[in-house]
Amino acid sequence: MPYFARLKLKDITGKNYQDALNDLKEQGYSDSTMSGINRTGRMIFRKALELELIKKDPTEFAYLKKDKKTVEQLEEEEIPKYLEKEELALFLRTAREQGLELDYLMFLILSYTGIRVGELVALKWKDVDFKNQTISITKTYYNPNNNTLEYQLVTPKTRKSRRKIIVDEEVINTLMKHKEVQNEVVEKLGDTYHNEDFIFAKIERQFGYPIVIKTVQNRMARLLRIAELNTELTPHSLRHTHTSLLAEAGVSLEQIMDRLGHSDDQITKNVYLHVTQEMKKEASHKFAQLMRSLRYKLHVNKMLTIHSHLT
């Protein structure tokens, strides 16, 4: 707005646009924020071009100045933080034993499916097939202001994001128990309950409305503190955790991508490669140990043979 509000679209030049990007960067905005600003700008001017409101797109040759990062920062970005399997077990046990209402089910599903938190809170009972033990992902939750009453359900970002995930029996059984409890609440509250079939629905004030994403984030932070685990982790970290455990279990990258609803994602690839490379190192180490053991046995047998000849 400060840069273009008083200008007509046709009067905005490539230099105007680039100067605006450079100025915003100098104000200290992060690379990710700048990327979002530029994406929005490009969408606006491309639409203007399509509608023939302008003859040339001023964003065509625009570029973003990037923060210069240290080697340590680059290495940290390459492999996102996630929970090891022992840590995940501790986290879920903490959620089950010390979690608030819905905590265990929320984090069990996130951990066992790798779905996004927006996909989680958008889940409805009709998305669950108890007989075939699947959960269908057909929508995601949108609510930038975290206002419970102003939520929107939108279609997933890509065609690949629409998917059906086979889940563990533990997930199905926990869902069944929750459904029984929720049915009692719905019956008790009657018309005061916003009955739109949401699995993760509020049971205090604004009854029946889906919980906001911020609630999931806050609940996870609380459990991480109690379990004395890395408090920098987020619900999205459980998606990376799921990737790492699938990789460790020998599931192919293609199958993992399909399960996560990715057509292509570099972070998922990085996690997968990191885990599989560690497994290869471990295999190499075990092989070397085996060979050392065999050499030792051969050496002992040889010494015993020599000793028997001498005696």
Pick from 28-32, 83-87, 223-227: least confident: 28-32
Domain spans of the chain, in order of start: 9-68, 85-235
Would you say residue 287 has pLDDT above 80? no
Q: How confident is the model at residue 275, as a pLDDT?
A: 80
Helix (H, G, I), strand (E, B) or coil at 156: coil
Mean pLDDT (whole number) for 237-261:
91
Mean pLDDT value across the chain: 88
What does residue 154 show for φ and ψ, rounded to 5 degrees? -120, 160
Pairing of strands 134-137, 163-166: antiparallel
Would you say residue 54 has pLDDT above 60? yes
What is the CATH superfamily name and number for domain 85-235?
A: Intergrase catalytic core (1.10.443.10)
Tokens found for residue 46: 């491309």
**Among 178, 183, 168, 205, residue whose Cα is nearest residue 96:** 178
Distance CA 3, CA 54 (A): 18
For 71, 300, 301, 303, 311, the CA distances from 307, given in Å and listed in that order, are 58, 10, 10, 6, 6
Band of residue 284 on the pLDDT scale cut at 50, 70, 90: low
Provide the whole-model pTM.
0.69
Distance CA 23, CA 17 (A): 10
pLDDT tens for 196-225 read: 999 999 988 899 999 999 999 999 999 999
Residue with the two structure tokens 């951990």: 111
Distance CA 197, CA 116 (A): 19
286 or 272, which is more confident: 272
Q: How confident is the model at residue 310, as a pLDDT?
A: 67
Would you say residue 241 has pLDDT above 60? yes
Residue type, 308: S
Give me the percent of the chain exceeding a pLDDT of 70.
92
For 67, 123, 133, 157, 164, the CA distances from 160, given in Å and listed in that order, are 32, 17, 20, 8, 10
R_g of the chain computed on alpha carbons? 27
Helix (H, G, I), strand (E, B) or coil at 201: strand
Residue with the two structure tokens 């002992």: 300
User: 111, 88 in Cβ contact below 8 A?
Assistant: yes
